[in-house]
Amino acid sequence: MEVYDGEFIAELETIARHIRLNSIKMIYKAGSGHPGGSLSCADILAALYFHIMKHDPKRPDWLDRDRFVLSKGHAAPALYAVLAEAGYFPIDELSSLRKMGSRLQGHPCMNKTPGVEMSTGSLGHGLAAGNGMALAAKLDRKLYRIYVLLGDGEMDVGETWEAAMLASHYKLDNVTAYIDRNKLQLDGPTEKIMSLEPLADKWKAFGWHVIEINGHNIQEIIHATNEAKGVKGRPTVVICHTIKGKGVSYMEGSLHFHGKAPNDQEYAQALKELGGAP
């Protein structure tokens, strides 16, 4: 197993903190949005866009780029934050989130935002769309890989499992799915709304290679992805154990901040905790 030096990991952790900070700023300025699920996936996005994925912000339509699909589209702020951080568009533009005429729609729109590979927002579509990209890659004998991020609430969706079946049927070893296992959906804890466990066994039964990690540990995210690259003949799913609202104390594990912007006081507190200026 590769060992990454502390400085390199610290850099990615800084990126993740920027994603969190900018997500909160955007949502506060927009007055609406989904902080909880944006914060829980920040580390995964940082690792993907700043180490794992082969991509070029100057050429968002580069044919050989790796593709990322945000199936849980309501975490759009985190996606926009990482895309801006990577240079797809200016950081300043982030403050236009959800505003009239903005390229940054409330949920990702592939026709408006450079770097967004698929329009999402209605849950449960992303894995199937990622499969289509993976099949196209195989058809064109391309080596690029497909990364899909799903919410654990999306495990409720029938289509997620239809796609899971298709991916293993077509031996899509170029697909890696990450599940943001923050254990909360909109109405409550996943196990109370619709029990998912034993989740890893379900994916195994569907023919996937399954890895479970701490989704806030950059090192583990990278190792799991490297492992996935080595798996031949079947897709890999990385169950990332995370905390909804991670990084802002009062948002952590909170249902309230699934889809609600912080008020002035909460905003000031969040900035302080994330080490940022307004």
Ligand X SMILES: Cc1ncc(C[n+]2csc(CCOP(=O)(O)OP(=O)(O)O)c2C)c(N)n1
User: Does the protein bind other proteins through residue 106 (CB under 8 A)?
Assistant: yes
User: Does the protein bind other proteins through residue 154 (CB under 8 A)?
Assistant: yes
Question: Residue 173 and residue 133: Cα distance in Å, rounded?
Answer: 12
User: Does the protein bind ligand X through residue 124 (CB under 6 A)?
Assistant: yes
- Which member of 37, 115, 247, 262 binds ligand X (CB under 6 A)? 37
User: Does the protein bind other proteins through residue 254 (CB under 8 A)?
Assistant: no
User: Does the protein bind other proteins through residue 105 (CB under 8 A)?
Assistant: yes
Q: Which is nearer to other proteins, 159 or 273 (by Cβ)?
A: 159
Cis peptide before 262 (omega within 30 of 0): no
> Stretches 119-127, 138-146, 203-211, 215-223: which one binds ligand X (CB under 6 A)?
119-127
Question: Residue 78 and residue 33: Cα distance in Å, rounded?
Answer: 11
Q: State the pairing for strand pair 236-241/209-214.
A: parallel
184 binds, among ligand X, other proteins, none (CB under 5 to 8 A by kind): ligand X
Residue 140 main-chain phi, psi, to 5 deg: -90, 5
User: Does the protein bind ligand X through residue 184 (CB under 6 A)?
Assistant: yes
Question: Residue 213 and residue 239: Cα distance in Å, rounded?
Answer: 6
CA angle 168, 172, 176 (to 5 degrees): 100
Sites of contact with other proteins (CB under 8 A): 30-33, 73, 97-102, 104-107, 109, 119-124, 153-154, 156-158, 185-187, 193-194
